[in-house]
Amino acid sequence: MSVNDVRVAIDAGGQSTKGARTRLRILDAAARVLREKGYAATRLSDIAEVAGLQTGSLAFHFRSKNELIDEVLRHGMTAGLAGVRRSVDRLGPDATPAVRIEAAVHAHLDGLAARNDYAPAVLRLVDQLPADTRRRFRPTERAYIGYWRDLLTAAREAGELPADLDTALLTRLLLGAMNANLGRADAGPRGRLSTAILFMIGLRGNGASQE
């Protein structure tokens, strides 16, 4: 259920050679350090230490620091969208748009929870990336945003949200509100946070505490 669970599926091949396992250990270490320190403040030596290797040894698995960070980003974004999509799909085809959104909100907040590293790392890194890296990941970012906008649009078309709603705008506000809880997704009862979020976007049919 956690974002990290898809890790193996993403790793090319999925063999468990020693090299492949070390590679994953390095990626996990990188995600953790990047999440804690941010892009520039992360030294290869920090990552190596967490992974239990010497700094120079990283080069055997990743050509450069940027290549390693790229991999963390790619992994985090792909896993994030996959996690949300999985939660929504699990509901089956008969679920109403509002229920789908609720599931998506839960999944997104879960991805931001303290125990995960990849999604928080991605979120922290986006605004710190060199321009070219940032550009390379724009499409993936847009795909994520687009998925949410489609959820909202479907709700609007089902009459669960106002007909004149600007779904692009509300998507941005919604993601902004959710991401403001980075590192706190576990603080306080889960239900309260997601209830507040759903309330904010106008879905207050489920007994929202504010109405």
Partner DNA sequence: GTCTATAGTTGGATAGAC
Partner DNA sequence: GTCTATCCAACTATAGAC
- Residues near a copy of itself (CB under 8 A): 38-41, 124, 127-128, 130, 161-162, 164-166, 169-170, 172-181, 184, 188, 192-193, 196-197, 199-202, 209-211
Kindly report the number of other CB atoms within 10 A of residue 2's CB atom.
15
Interface with DNA, residue 16, by CB under 7 A: no
Q: State the Cα–Cα distance between residues 202 and 90, nearest whole angstrom.
A: 24
In the shown chain, the binding pattern of residues 28 to 47 toward DNA, with x for contact by CB under 7 A and - for none, equals --------------xxxx--
- Nearer Cβ to DNA, position 60 or 168? 60
53 binds DNA (CB under 7 A): yes
Give the Cα separation of 68 and 46 in Å (integer). 13
Nearer to DNA (CB atom), residue 64 or residue 206: 64
Instruction: Quote the least distance from Cβ 176 to DNA, whole Å.
Output: 30
Residue 164's binding partner among DNA, a copy of itself, none (Cβ under 5 to 8 angstroms by kind) is a copy of itself
Residue whose token pair is 């979020």: 197
CB of 125 to a copy of itself, least distance (A): 9
CB-based contacts of 139: which residues, under 8 Å, 6+ apart? none
Which token pair is 117? 């590293």
CA distance 46 to 54: 10
Helix (H, G, I), strand (E, B) or coil at 163: coil
Site stretch for DNA (CB under 7 A), options 27-35, 48-56, 80-88, 115-123: 48-56
Indicate the angle between helix axes 65-89 and 118-125, nearest 10 degrees: 120
Find the binding residues for DNA in span 134-193 (CB under 7 A): none
| In the complex, minimum distance from the CB of residue 3 to a copy of itself, in angstroms, rounded to a whole number | 20
Burial class (CB in 10 A: 0-12, 13-18, 19+), 145: middle
Q: How far apart are CA 131 and CA 94, in angstroms?
A: 42
Tell me which of a copy of itself, DNA, none is bound by residue 177, counting a contact when its beta carbon lies within the kind-specific cut-off of 5 to 8 angstroms: a copy of itself
Residues at the contact surface with DNA, assessed by CB under 7 A: 17-19, 22, 42-45, 53-57, 59-61, 63-66
